Amino acid sequence: MNAPVTSQPVSHARALRDMLLSSELEFLMEAHNGLSARIVREAGFKGIWGSGLAISAQYGVRDNNEASWTQVVDTLEFMVDASGLPILLDGDTGYGNFNNLRRLVHKLEQRGIAGVCIEDKQFPKTNSFIDGERQPLAEVDEFCGKIKAGKDSQRDDDFSIVARVEALIAGWGMAEALRRAEAYRAAGADAILIHSKLSRPDEILEFTREWAGRAPLVIVPTKYYSTPTDVFRRAGISTIIWANHLIRAATSAMQTTAREIHANQRLIDVEDRIAPVNEIFRLQGADEYARAERAYLGAGRKPAAAVVLAAARGRGLEALTETRPKVMLPVAGKPLLRWLVDGFKAQGLHDITVVGGYRADAIDTTGVKLAVNERAEQTGELASLACAVEALEGDAVIAYGDLLYRSYILRDLLDSEAEVTVVIDSSDPAQCNPSVRDFAYCSAPDDRDLFGQAVRLLDIDSQATRDDRSAEGRWIGLMAVRDEGVGRLNAALAALRERPDFDRLDMPDLINALVTDGVTVAVQYVHGHWRGVNDLDELRLAGDFAHGQQPFGAEVPVEDVGTRADDKH
């Protein structure tokens, strides 16, 4: 009986060779460290260009062989591990003569690098776009000897050596470029990289026609970037290298962010424009580590769940909510509920329960579980929360369904170590979200010059007037419970359900009950940066907020537009 045939994984070297020999146009994207290599993989690229310019730049040195070849190879090892993709190294001149190249090839194969590109200039090299005409080229016979030495040294037949022709850069003309390319092909080069510094592809296309497919042809369209890719596809180019675009993009973003933080001496202006810390953790493979930790060290902390109270039709919005609840009203192109759900998922909260009531059938349940308060029109917020009690078995975030907020607010809430934490807005109620009337009285005001102080909630009063200046802020409708706080919240909720007036109770009643029971309810202060939706004007302002036009909260008329009570459950 014949043994079953099992397919062996394709080596990195074989994968790169298949790309070079492919009948389709292939692409390599620049990367310069492990993080950028993983980003290249996630973007969908099949291979990586280990750019000499980019790797030297991330070290903060010039592209003049100032980073040693051992430092470059160490960087490449991290890139291989992070991406699992074939890497073609920009090997400059091979870091010396034929003997240096022989050792380089050995070391690259040991680290799982798929191939190396070497250029026919003299060591130490200078970047081709810096006075290229003045840079001397290597003698053809010497460079051919280097190619032969590299090919004789490789142990894997699929390892590729790409010969880069600099004659057009140096101003030596088309005839010399073709002569050199043919000599390098005859010496054993697996592909030819033809380089040009012109802003048009004329030289490249002329070379391609004259070359006539004698070996795979690789190009780097950094200077002639406006040329449509189909031009190269029709010309029969094998592979295009996008040679330095990730390091340039990263540089631009870092310069902008550094200047802004330095000028403003704060982080709030940039936080929503940069990758969340959790995204860096994800790219680093933190999820895999967490799985391994659970497997080898026992069960870890259960991720937090989220409960969204979304049973209301919406007072003041009846003209728009005849066929849908308030949370399904569109804000800046997507339903209000979707802003909440997407924000939760971005912070790793995937277990989301939405409590519907009015027109619960119209709620988009993609990615969420739906619980329904069948008596939503006769009951308050706590009756809706009681419908989701199964979701309150572990750490949880509880939110009103009509909230928009800057993402850092939720991140900070999830970082809180307190058993119960509520988000309190210390801004002037006349200037931001004036309809919110859940006034909070705390152990200390929002002193943003004093970091690290522990502030606790004393009481939430939904009947206070806006003129009461003794309150330290207003509860925005967002809280978190964790550890022992989960059980204490459930106990308080169960006790309140025994009261005859339970159907009229709202979330502030539950929070106050926790305080009365001796639970320390921590305060997370914010100063604006969020918006509720209680009427048509606030719906319009919510659209501005979501678009980022007024990220700090817009001024709204200060006349009393009613409380939020009975409108969130």
* Residue 422 within a domain: yes
| Of 122-136, 213-227, 411-425, 503-517, minimum mean pLDDT range | 122-136
Q: How confident is the model over 343-361, as pLDDT tens digits?
A: 999 888 999 999 999 999 9
* Pair 450, 377 in one domain: yes
* Pair 332, 201 in one domain: no
Q: What is the pLDDT of residue 272?
A: 87
> What is the number of domains present in the chain?
2
Give dist(CA 299, CA 254) in Å, integer. Answer: 38
* Residue 181 within a domain: yes
* Pair 238, 334 in one domain: no
* Pair 197, 341 in one domain: no
What share of the chain in percent tops pLDDT 70?
88
387: number of Cβ within 10 Å:
23
* Pair 396, 479 in one domain: yes
* Pair 205, 322 in one domain: no
Strand-pair partners of 534: none
Report residue 487's pLDDT band, with 50, 70 and 90 as the boundaries: very high
* Residue 307 within a domain: yes
* Pair 200, 328 in one domain: no
| Of 332-346, 393-407, 425-439, 508-522, minimum mean pLDDT range | 425-439
Residue 167 has pLDDT above 90, yes or no: yes
Task: Quickly tell me which residue has 């290298």 as its tokens.
Answer: 241
Q: Residue range 460-489: average pLDDT?
A: 86
Q: Residue range 453-473: average pLDDT?
A: 81
Cβ atoms of 278 and 347 within 8 Å: the answer is yes
Q: Minimal CA–CA distance to 269: which of 259, 256, 260, 279? A: 260
* Pair 317, 232 in one domain: no
| Residue 261: both structure tokens together | 């933080």
Q: Fill in the DSSP letter of residue 199.
A: S
* Pair 357, 496 in one domain: yes
Q: How confident is the model over 103-152, as pLDDT tens digits?
A: 999 999 999 999 999 999 887 655 555 554 557 899 999 999 999 999 99
Average pLDDT, rounded, for the chain = 88
* Residue 559 within a domain: no
Annotated active-site residue in 63, 158, 402, 425 = 63
Give dist(CA 88, CA 50) in Å, integer. Answer: 6
Helices (H), 285-392: 286-297, 336-346, 381-386
Q: What is the pLDDT of residue 551?
A: 35
Cβ atoms of 28 and 242 within 8 Å: the answer is yes
Residue 527 has pLDDT above 70, yes or no: yes
Residue 539 has pLDDT above 90, yes or no: no
State how far the alpha carbon of 290 is from the alpha carbons of 286, 294, 296, 348, 393, in Å.
Answer: 6, 6, 10, 13, 21
Q: What is the pLDDT of residue 294?
A: 67
Q: What is the pLDDT of residue 566?
A: 41
* Residue 382 within a domain: yes
Residue 567 has pLDDT above 70, yes or no: no
Give the burial class of 175: count Cβ atoms within 10 A of its Cβ; 0-12 exposed, 13-18 middle, 19 or more buried. exposed
CATH number for the domain that contains residue 46: 3.20.20.60
Give the burial class of 228: count Cβ atoms within 10 A of its Cβ; 0-12 exposed, 13-18 middle, 19 or more buried. exposed
Q: Residue range 399-427: average pLDDT?
A: 93
* Residue 30 within a domain: yes
Residue with the larger pLDDT of the pair 544 and 22: 22
Query: Is there a cis peptide before residue 124, judged by omega within 30 degrees of 0?
Result: yes
Q: What is the pLDDT of residue 319?
A: 83
Q: Residue range 398-411: average pLDDT?
A: 92
* Pair 84, 201 in one domain: yes
* Residue 67 within a domain: yes
Give dist(CA 275, CA 290) in Å, integer. Answer: 21
Report residue 563's pLDDT band, with 50, 70 and 90 as the boundaries: very low
Cβ atoms of 160 and 114 within 8 Å: the answer is yes
Largest CA distance in the chain: 97
State how far the alpha carbon of 252 is from the alpha carbons of 77, 145, 328, 482, in Å.
Answer: 26, 41, 38, 40
Q: What is the pLDDT of residue 484?
A: 93
State how far the alpha carbon of 224 is from the alpha carbons of 200, 204, 229, in Å.
Answer: 5, 10, 11
> Does residue 63 have an active-site annotation?
yes
* Pair 27, 128 in one domain: yes
Contacts by 442-448 with C-beta closer than 8 Å and gap 24+?
Answer: 442/472, 442/473, 442/523, 443/523, 444/472, 445/472, 446/472, 446/473, 446/525, 446/527, 448/525, 448/527
Residue 328 has pLDDT above 80, yes or no: yes
Residue with the larger pLDDT of the pair 564 and 302: 302
CATH number for the domain that contains residue 378: 3.90.550.10
Q: What is the DSSP string of 104-125?
A: HHHHHHHTT--EEEEESBPSSP
Give the torsion sign (CA, 289, 291, 297, 303): positive
pTM: 0.65
Cβ atoms of 232 and 511 within 8 Å: the answer is no
Q: What is the pLDDT of residue 465?
A: 63
Report residue 562's pLDDT band, with 50, 70 and 90 as the boundaries: very low
Angle at the Cα of 415 from the Cα atoms of 412 and 420, rounded to 5 degrees: 95
Classify each residue of 255-270 as buried b or exposed e, where b means 16 or more C-beta atoms within 10 Å of its C-beta: eeeeeeeeeeeeeeee
Q: 140-153 and 174-186 are packed helices; what angle lies between their axes, rounded to 10 degrees? A: 30
Residue with the larger pLDDT of the pair 502 and 123: 502
Report residue 553's pLDDT band, with 50, 70 and 90 as the boundaries: very low
Domain that holds residue 451: 301-547
State how far the alpha carbon of 173 is from the alpha carbons of 169, 207, 262, 298, in Å.
Answer: 9, 10, 49, 67
Q: Residue range 506-529: average pLDDT?
A: 95
State how far the alpha carbon of 430 is from the alpha carbons of 50, 176, 400, 402, 557, in Å.
Answer: 56, 76, 21, 19, 8
* Pair 213, 317 in one domain: no
* Residue 109 within a domain: yes
